Amino acid sequence: MNKDELLKEYVETFGEKGQDVFFSPGRINVIGEHTDYNGGHVFPAAISLGVYGVYGPRDDKKVRLFSGNVNGNIVEFDIDDTTVEKGERFWANYFKGMITYLREKYDNIDHGFNLYIKANLPSGSGLSSSAAIEMLMGIILKDEFKLDVDRVNLAKMGQRTENEFVGLNSGIMDQFACIMGKKDSAIFLDCNTLEYEYLPLELGNYEIIIMATNKPHTLADSAYNDRVRECHDALTKLQEKLDIKALGELDNDTFDEYSYLINDKTELKRARHAVSENQRAIRATKAMKDGDLEKIGRLINASHISLHYDYEVTGKELDTLAEASWKQDGVLGARMIGGGFGGSAIAIVKKDKAEEFKKNVGKTYRDKIGYDASFYDAEIVDGSKMI
């Protein structure tokens, strides 16, 4: 997206010049899905699709937000207003929560601002537009108000915004990936300890293709919070005999030996996914270090199977994309990413087969689902920043 064009749109919206332009990326997750809130490992990367913001300071206490993607009016509130927005203004909560929690710690956020936002990240795509927005607001406040806050703590505040202000019981992966991203690398993150390591995404003749279902979904309205609760209930039963704080602390063998404690079909499946997916993430990052791309591909496929049968968060749209991808030439692996129930999938595809892949999978999807999927080539980029 062109910086000059964004500055021009800011002037058209607010009738004055903007001061600075920022970008906050979305994310993909190579493997490790629904493990973050279970204290497991994830392997995400920031992508070149994201959210842009043009900032202009004000000399009063008003915050004025306008989205170039939403057909609506300017959303205006006082900087010390901590009420949750409802209805068509709901999107403003991702900004408002960050302002609220940063102002609790930093009293030098003492004046309002105008903010023009525009995204080329499809909303509801499972590429984490909400975390991109939270980290956009975080990096703007850090830079413009000279806050002494590090990026990891901004990620924690983003998760708090999601959990407490918006009401989605998500883990920290999305915010961490958006703010801590590194060009051409994925982040191997232990969500239990927040220890992390950058690993180059060295895919040789292969590339990552993002496949958006274009099915509208909102995680906060979905069964996401149910999955969190089911895993928590399973963990509580395991804690009768095991000294653990999270499902991510278990390996497959230990889980198998103690699974009789759960004795509930649904909770057993949810916990089995959380444990096995964490182990897959650990094995996949070892395979990445070893340069074993075929093994990574098989583990990615296995991740989708577990998300389908044990976690039950895929649905016909995501299953169609993954299953059609597995049948194409030059595909190492494919799976749904994100919360599920819609959103997106990824495939690792040979570069010289990419166009044929998109055509074939696109046709299968349209024939089966009745409307088109969208395909994006994923460039891996740095985290949220001023541009």
pLDDT digits (tens, 9 = 90+) for 36-68: 999 999 999 999 999 999 999 999 999 999 999
Task: State the pLDDT at residue 218.
Answer: 57
Whether residue 187 is predicted with pLDDT greater than 80 in this model: the reply is yes
Report which of 39, 251, 295, 2 is spatially closest to residue 120, judged by C-alpha positions. 2
Which pLDDT belongs to residue 339? 86
- 124: which 2 tokens? 């509801």
Which is nearest to 340 in space by CA: 243, 270, 241, 291? 270
Report, as residue numbers or ranges, the catalytic residues: 174
Q: Are 352 and 17 in contact (CB under 8 A)?
A: no
Q: Which residue has the higher pLDDT, 327 or 167?
A: 327
Tell me the pLDDT tens digit for each residue of 84-124.
998 888 899 999 999 999 999 999 999 999 999 999 987 66
pLDDT band at 333 (very low <50, low <70, confident <90, very high): very high
Q: Is the pLDDT of residue 216 over 70?
A: no
Describe the crossing of helices 151-160 and 173-180 by its angle, rounded to 10 degrees. Answer: 150
Does 220 have pLDDT greater than 60?
no
Residue 129: pLDDT band (50, 70, 90) is confident
What average pLDDT does the segment 160-178 reach? 93
Distance, in Å, from the CA atom of 287 to the CA atom of 283, rounded to the nearest integer, reads: 6
Sign (positive or negative) of CA dihedral 252, 254, 255, 260: positive
pTM value is 0.93
Average pLDDT taken over every residue of the chain:
95
Q: Which segments are annotated as binding site for ATP? A: 67, 124-130
CA distance 283 to 184: 20
Residue 126 has pLDDT above 90, yes or no: no
Mark the binding-site residues for Mg(2+), compressed into ranges.
Answer: 130, 162
Backbone dihedral angles phi then psi of residue 302, each to the nearest 5 degrees: -65, -35
pLDDT in tens, 376-386: 998 999 999 99
> Hey, what domains does the chain have and what are their CATH numbers?
3-200 (3.30.230.10), 206-377 (3.30.70.890)
Annotated binding site: 33-36, 67, 124-130, 162, 224
pLDDT at 174: 94
pLDDT tens digits along 257-287: 999 999 999 999 999 999 999 999 999 999 9
pLDDT of residue 24: 98
What is the rounded average pLDDT of the residues 238-257?
Answer: 98
Task: Give the residue numbers of the binding site for substrate.
Answer: 33-36, 224
Q: Is 181 exposed, middle or buried (0-12, 13-18, 19+ CB in 10 A)?
A: buried
Q: Backbone phi, then psi, for 49, in 5-degree steps? A: -85, 135
Per residue in 225-242, pLDDT (tens digit) is 899 999 999 999 999 999
pLDDT for 62 equals 98
Judged by average pLDDT, the poorest of 11-25, 106-120, 158-172, 219-233 is 219-233
Query: What pLDDT shows up at residue 98?
Result: 98
What is the token pair recorded at 176? 């961490």
Q: What integer pLDDT is reported at residue 121 of this predicted model?
A: 84
**For residues 314 and 336, is the Cβ–Cβ distance under 8 A?**
yes
Between 220 and 281, whose confidence is greater? 281
pLDDT of residue 221: 57
Q: What share of the chain is helix, strand, coil (3-state, %, to 5)?
A: 45, 20, 30
